[in-house]
Structure formats: structure tokens, C-alpha cells
Amino acid sequence: MKQPITGYHRDEEDHWVAQLDCGHNQHVRHDPPWQNRPWVTSEQGRKQMLGLQLECKKCDAGAPTDEQPRESD
């Protein structure tokens, strides 16, 4: 199920995590060649992607919502 990005935070390993409208979190790494997301590396890029819809496998599985801390820089 597709869900829009509503915010971001960093995990304990300093990786960016998108917070989705459904209450789930999803990593959004820029790790070429496997994941090409250069927009995640800048504040401006992340802001421009707010509202982007990502496939949420946690919604598909009926998982409970995740903790969503405040955005970090």
C-alpha cells in the first residue's frame, strides 16, 4: 500500500528514516548501486520529497505503528 512521506528522522546508526502518514517508518538510504536516492543527503532534497508515496509493506502486513521521533538534521 502506498503511503506519503510526512517527515524524517535518523536511526541509531545515523541512517535516514522516512516517517509515513500511516504511522510506519521506512529507511530511505542513498546506497548506490542498490538504492539511488541522492535527495536524502540534503535537507532541501528531503523537504522536496515530502508527500512522495512509498510502498509500505508494514501496512500490507497489518503491522502496528512505529515510534516517530522528531526530525533530526
Structure confidence at residue 6 (pLDDT): 97
Global pTM reads 0.89
User: 41-59 pLDDT, tens per residue?
Assistant: 999 999 999 999 999 999 9
User: 15-41 pLDDT, tens per residue?
Assistant: 999 999 999 999 999 988 888 999 999
Residue 50's CB is within 10 A of a number of other CB atoms, namely 13
Q: Is the pLDDT of residue 12 over 70?
A: yes
Residue 64 C-alpha cell reads as: 502496528
Structure confidence at residue 33 (pLDDT): 85
> For 57, phi and psi rounded to 5 degrees?
-70, -25
